[in-house]
Structure 1
Amino acid sequence: MTSALNLTSGSSLLAAYGALAVLLVTFVEAGLLVVGFFVPGDTLLFPAGVLCASAPTAAEHHGPYLTLWQVLLCAAVGSIAGAQLGFLIGRHGGQALLSRSRSARLKSAAARSEELLERYGRRKAIVLGRFIPMVRSVLAPLAGALRVPVRTFTVWQVVGGLLWTQTTILAGYALGKSVPGIDNYLLPVVLALVVLSALPLLFAKRRNGTSTRPDR
């Protein structure tokens, strides 16, 4: 039932809205700064790919169908359009919003995004940021606030958005095709994905902690 819908649960959103949920979540995560922290990203795209590979029969089906081409298209459109909106928001008040925010998560993600931009340059950072949770929600507004050229951001956010969404969905689809019945174990799969998604941030924090130690 809609009243029991959990907006932070990828499986709940997919069951209720199918590919439309993919469009909505990728748009919100990439474009609506603070709100983007609270919607599932990887934990929606990967299961969507798995579910596309295990399409039920008409007798078994309940709720919207998930077809691979629709999920791929919705993810691409939502991710690209959302990031472009986030960039425009950043150009028109992003710095003020970041400075006023008291969210430790937001400030941490912003710092990580700035580090990516400094370390890898604009092009690589815009692409790599798509694959890092939390950074994915902040990098577009931050790029706008830092006055990254519109052409540079647009070209590379499209490249990054397509790489992230399509590879994540297709990885889930490949797993669903190669492991029959894996859709019955989506919860542990999603939990494993959450852990894997957090590894880049953990390694970055560890590197930062090591690099700030004084030389003896």
Structure 2
Amino acid sequence: MIKRIIGTAICIVMSCALFAQEEEIKFQILNQYEETLNSATLTVGGNTNEHLADDNGYFTIKAQPSDVVVISRSGYSDFSSSIAELKKDQTITLRKDFSWKDLMNPMFYIINGGLWLLLFIVFAETGLFAGFFLPGDSLLFVAGIYSSNLVHEFFKAFGIGHIRNEWIDLLLMTVLISIAGIIGNMVGYWFGRKIGPAMYSWKDRFLFKRKYLNDAHDFYEKHGGGAIIFARFLPIIRTFAPIVAGIVQMDRKKFMFYNIVGCIAWVVSMIFAGHFLQIWVRKQFGFELRDHLEMIVIIIVLVTTFPVAWKLLSGKKKPKKTV
């Protein structure tokens, strides 16, 4: 009987000691695009439960120092971490499985290609037919937020020490991206000039009428400069505007002038908006724009496509009145 009592007491003491060793750990879970995840399945010490983050995006668990935490979420690869790692970093990156939707996420290109992929996308959006689906506006906006990191890649590639100064970073970003955009437009224009003369001899078809070329030629003669500038701010249209300008044989010098003006205006507005709006929102409201990039992308798409939709809807011919 005495041995049994002693054994029970020892078990109780050991249980209390183990319980006393439990620690409360707080940590955040992000994906590779730096988006905060607010729910996940956590396995701690063999016990699996669904957890929700608090209003600040932090998860709270109680665990012993020897426990291993396994983090799971649908559409993501599982991740395991020791308690020591959680206490040290307090941030876990859970890798999201690739989906085609990621191609519309500007952070996909920032993470996987950085500055060099960014420059290629700006070029491809206007230099290649296939570039019309690429997220140019939102990508430049996000590039403004990460301008310092992206410029660091440029200096690193040439073995130059990076002097971190926001104005130098923004100026260099503007120059590099503007050059890529200007060259892209030039390629599109050159391609249009090459195939343009042949198109005037094409027969009318369902998707092609020579009248369209004549109308486009008259439009560019009258509004060519404005068309090239404003096309920069309109998704899809900026891909085909320089090509059409080349097809209708728009004056080369006139095209180049408005090409440069439009590209610089587009790059400066998007890069500077992303950079300084991020700073202003952080100071005024205490949160990071980068944590809400999906909503930002949607807003930018709506804003940039609204003029096109409005023009298409308001430009419909009104039915003629019968006398």
TM-score normalised by structure 2 residue count: 0.53
**Aligned partners of 2:300, 2:218: CA distance in 1, in Å?**
22
Take 1:95 and 1:175, find their aligned partners in 2: how far apart are those partners?
46
Gaps of 5+ in 2: 1-94, 150-163, 283-287
Aligned residues between the structures: 197
Q: Which amino acid aligns with 1:50?
A: I
1:39 aligns with 2:141: no
> 1:1-216, aligned counterparts within 5 Å?
4=98, 6-32=102-128, 34-52=129-147, 67-94=169-196, 114=216, 117=219, 121-180=223-282, 181-209=288-316, 211-215=317-321
Give 1 or 2: higher strand fraction.
2
Moved more, 125-134 or 44-53: 44-53
Taking the aligned partners of 1:78 and 1:207, their CA distance within structure 2 comes to 34
Structure having the higher helix fraction is 1
3-state SS, counterpart of residue 315 of structure 2: helix
Instruction: Determine helix, strand or coil for the equivalent of 2:249.
Output: coil
- The verdict on how the C-alpha distance between 1:96 and 1:184 changes in structure 2, with shifts beyond 3 A counting, is farther
Question: Following the alignment from structure 1 to structure 2, what is the Cα–Cα distance between the partners of residues 190 and 170?
Answer: 16
Q: Please give the TM-score of this superposition, normalised by the length of structure 1.
A: 0.77
| CA-to-aligned-CA distance 1:90-135 (integer Å, 9 cap, x gap) | 00115768x89x9x8xx9xx99x94993595111111111111111
* Residues 30, 136 of structure 1: 8 Å contact kept: yes
SS of alignment partner, residue 214 of structure 1: coil
Letter in structure 2 aligned against 1:10 = P
User: Is this contact kept in 2: 1:22–1:74, CA < 8 A?
Assistant: no
Deviations 1:138-157 (A, max 9, x none): 01011001000111101111
Percentage of matched positions with identical amino acids:
25
On the 8 A contact 1:22/1:78 being kept in 2, the answer is no
Distance 1:115 1:169, change over 3 A: farther
2:174 and 2:264 in contact (8 A); partners too? no
RMSD: 3.5
Contact 2:178 2:264 in 1 (8 A): yes
**Consecutive unaligned residues in structure 1, runs of 5 or more:** 56-64
